[in-house]
């Protein structure tokens, strides 16, 4: 199968550094991970040849990244990785982002590019993510770790649906922040806030990718089951 026909999720898993290319081109490799590269490029009006060229350069490299390493983990170790690299990190990120957003909205409320409504959006995302992560930790992940893949298939579908909701909330966050673009002469608090938001966005997309396209695909039987 040519790279153009491969799914974004598969490329993100197989090609070291591919996720950075997808971020560069604004391609959703987590919730939209099942879409083929050529379809995703067409939908966004992108130059498929330039995109393949960027990815091919990476594919020829012998270096490794998060995607290639985690793809080789068994279910238990992948779950442990997700818990420490993403669940724990999101629980640290969001309270601080909410604190910074409160300050920016208060101090810069009259600025035309003030991200009005950002605090409320982050609080909504925090509540939804916490509920989602707790159900994964208490119900779904223990099932998968014990090899109960048939029992896990229905909960996986629920989690995938919630991942789509998380993707929608990220899109709203970008709308509120004008694409997470800083205004000229932004203060240090505003800069710290937007740097943190960009990190949250990239982390959450990678988090969803690893669950949807790696861990959950094993449950679906699309990758030959657990290793």
With 0.75 as the threshold, say if the pTM is over it.
yes
How far CA 222 is from CA of 5, 60, 169, 212, in Å, comes to: 17, 26, 28, 11
Summarize pLDDT for 56-95 with one digit per residue, the tens: 876 665 344 555 556 678 999 999 999 999 999 999 999 9
Confidence of residue 18 (pLDDT cuts 50, 70, 90): confident
| CB-based contacts of 175, cutoff 8 Å, min separation 6 | none
CA dist., res. 80 & res. 34, Å (int): 24
- Residue 121: which of 88, 104, 87, 98 has the closest Cα? 98
pLDDT of residue 207: 95
Confidence of residue 150 (pLDDT cuts 50, 70, 90): very high
How far CA 179 is from CA of 171, 175, 176, 207, in Å, comes to: 9, 6, 8, 20
């Amino acid at each position: 199968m040519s790279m153009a026909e491969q799914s974004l999720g598969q490329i993100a898993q197989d090609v070291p550094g591919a996720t950075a290319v997808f971020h560069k081109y604004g391609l959703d490799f987590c919730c939209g991970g099942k879409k083929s590269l050529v379809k995703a490029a067409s939908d966004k009006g992108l130059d498929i040849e330039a995109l393949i060229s960027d990815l091919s350069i990476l594919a020829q490299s012998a270096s490794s990244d998060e995607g290639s390493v985690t793809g080789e983990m068994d279910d238990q170790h992948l779950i442990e990785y997700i818990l420490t690299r993403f669940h724990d990190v999101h629980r640290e990120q969001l309270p601080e982002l909410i604190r910074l957003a409160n300050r920016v909205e208060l101090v810069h409320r009259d600025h035309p590019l003030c991200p009005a409504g950002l605090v409320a959006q982050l609080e909504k995302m925090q509540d939804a993510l916490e509920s989602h992560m707790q159900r994964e930790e208490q119900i779904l992940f223990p099932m998968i770790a014990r090899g109960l893949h048939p029992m896990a298939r229905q909960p996986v579908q629920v989690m995938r649906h919630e991942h789509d909701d998380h993707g929608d909330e990220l899109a709203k966050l970008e709308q509120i922040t004008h694409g997470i673009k800083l205004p000229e002469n932004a203060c240090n608090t505003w800069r710290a806030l937007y740097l943190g938001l960009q990190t949250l966005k990239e982390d959450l997309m990678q988090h969803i990718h690893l669950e949807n396209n790696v861990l959950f695909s094993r449950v679906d039987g699309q990758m030959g089951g657990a290793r």
